[in-house]
Amino acid sequence: MVDCSWVRRLVLLTSVLVIVACAGPNTALYKPTLDDLTAQAPDSFLVDIQTSEGAITVKMRRHWSPLAVDRVWHLVENNFYAGARFYRMIDGFVAQWGYSGEPVRDSVWRDHPLDDEPVIGSN
């Protein structure tokens, strides 16, 4: 009998490579459509953030800042922030984040700024 195990391995490896090559990057993050940019978030939702210091849960309220919350909804749903870091922390005042940590991905979103929105309330 002929040993065909190397043929099976080659077919399996080729199949995996084809699947990975076809998957490509998430177009909703790298080439957002008008629908992506105008999709409306729910009235409110929770975002769970895992950090090296523990977990944080942020409640997003659309009526406080519709454009920004819609954008966060889209980015969270497409894993934009996976692996991102906080870059500015001032105790009792602010914790800032927003960059994905991937310069190419971040540059796409710099071309889609949001308009300023009026202050509705304080968090």
The per-residue pLDDT for range 33-56, each reduced to its tens digit, is 888 888 999 999 999 998 888 898
- Residues 70-80 have a mean pLDDT of 92
Q: Using 50, 70 and 90 to split pLDDT, how confident is the model at 9?
A: low
How far apart CA 40 and CA 116 sit, in angstroms, is: 17
Q: In this model, does residue 68 exceed pLDDT 80?
A: yes
The overall average pLDDT reported for the chain is 81
Q: What burial class does residue 92 get, using C-beta atoms within 10 Å of its C-beta: 0-12 exposed, 13-18 middle, 19+ buried?
A: exposed
Reported in sequence order, the residue ranges of 11-117 that DSSP labels E, i.e. its strands, are 44-51, 54-61, 88-90, 94-96
Answer yes or no: are the C-beta atoms of 39 and 74 closer than 8 Å: yes
The per-residue pLDDT for range 91-110, each reduced to its tens digit, is 989 888 888 888 888 888 88
